[in-house]
Homo-oligomer: A and B are copies of this chain.
Amino acid sequence: MIHDLLLNHINKNAKFSKVEQEEFCRFFQKKAILKKQFILEQGQVCKFEGFVTKGCFRIFTIDKKGNENTLYFAAKDWWLMDIDSFMNHKPSELNIQALEDSEVLIITQKDKLTLYDTIPNAEKLFRIMFQKSIVAWQRRIIRNHSLTAKERYSHFITNYPEIATKLTDRQTSSYLGITHEFLSKIKKQS
């Protein structure tokens, strides 16, 4: 079943009845994205939410100075979207690009609202998922402030080994908030 991963993910965070599970899944359509393709580009309005079932994505912005800044990587079991753009129908500041041939379960903006109406439990599911997400963002801020670049690099490769191995050093450095030259020097040290 193409929805197995999604179901598994839901059941970790909420208690859906069989009927609810089926209804929930019916909203999501499989979509294949080839390596290097963008599923969202800066300036576009984000009209979907996606759940990654295969492959890996990079979510990043390009700032005024032209530097790429990676917000996060989304491998299997992660969600993809620009919440702000999706929520407020405004142009996205984020790019979402496949790092390898990937598959995503997509729900449209319109269906997402319907989903909340037809499956009240979905509110709880996403409320809980968002809570967890906030905790992760807070921790990242603290790490950025209290750890050196080298310590952040170690943390990243030990905590996300599957993702880290898929990345070029340039991608990793744009996530850590350092230049790729400096990452190269860090790696040489250790």
Tell me if A160 is interfacial: C-beta within 8 Å of chain B.
no
- Copy number in this complex? 2
Q: Residue on B with the closest CB to A71?
A: B138
Interface of chain A, main secondary structure:
helix
Q: How far is the CB of A141 from chain B (nearest CB, A)?
A: 6
Given the interface contacts A127-B130, A130-B134, A133-B134, does A145 sit within 8 Å of B83 by beta carbon?
A: no
Q: Residue on B with the closest CB to A142?
A: B69
Binds B, one of A4-12, A21-29, A116-124: A116-124
Query: Which residues of A are interface residues toward B (Cβ below 8 A)?
Result: 61, 63-65, 67, 69, 71, 83-84, 87, 116, 120, 123-124, 126-128, 130-135, 137-138, 140-142, 144-146, 177
